[in-house]
Structure formats: C-alpha cells, structure tokens
Amino acid sequence: MGGRDRRELKRAVRDAERLRFVERMPFSSAMATNLFEALNAALGAQACRHNFVLTGRWCESQSVNVATVIAWLRSEGAGCDCEAFNVEERFTDAMKAF
Ligand SMILES: [Zn+2]
C-alpha cells in the first residue's frame, strides 16, 4: 500500500469515528456547545464534586432528559462534570468532519 493510500485510509477511519460520535449525541451540536459552555462557566466558579450535579442542573434548565445525557457522557468516557471536557474535545474534533 502506498503512502497516499495509507493517508486516505487514515482519513476515512478518522471521519468514520467523527460520524459515529455525532450519531450518538443525544441532542444537536448547538445543545452540546451550550452544555459544555455551561459546565465551563460553572466549573470556573466551583470545583467539580466528581459527580454530574452540574450536568443535571443544565438538563433541568433545558428540559433535557438527565439520565439520557449522563448515560451518553459515561458512554463517551466521562465519569463526572469535569471529565465532560474530554468529551468536548472529541466533539470539537468531530465537528471538523462537517
Ligand atoms: Zn470531576
């Protein structure tokens, strides 16, 4: 396999991962941005208690199902509010595919 084919394969794998991420999001990308901004602001003012209390508060304010959002964050590897920023990084990366 030549270098060019290998690069194209890598790009295809990366795009597939980005697409998979977006397909699993429980809400629109605008809502995801809104959640991550809210968490950013809240965690600038207070330390993470290593639970999802801030995510829960945001869900209530947006009338979004809390259990669905927490299950999604967990499935993407976040165990608490501050770890949601790892998911934000992947979200930001995934948006590059569109
Ligand atoms: Zn935390």
Domain locations in the chain as residue ranges: 3-95
- Residue 88 near residue 36 (C-beta atoms within 8 A): yes
Model pLDDT, residue 57: 98
CA distance 13 to 29: 21
Residues around ion ligand 1, judged by CB within 5 A, are 48, 50, 80, 82
Share of the chain above pLDDT 90, in %: 93
List of long-range contacts for 70-79, beta carbons under 8 Å, 24+ apart: 72/24, 72/25, 72/26, 75/24, 76/21, 76/24, 79/50
Query: Ligand 1 centroid to 19 CA: how many Å?
Result: 27
Q: What is the average per-residue pLDDT within 62-88?
A: 97
Q: What is the pLDDT of residues 10-40, one digit of tens each?
A: 999 999 999 999 999 999 999 999 999 999 9
The tokens for 27 are 């809400």
Helix (H) or strand (E) holding 70: helix 66-75
Looking up tokens 């209530």, which residue turns up?
A: 60
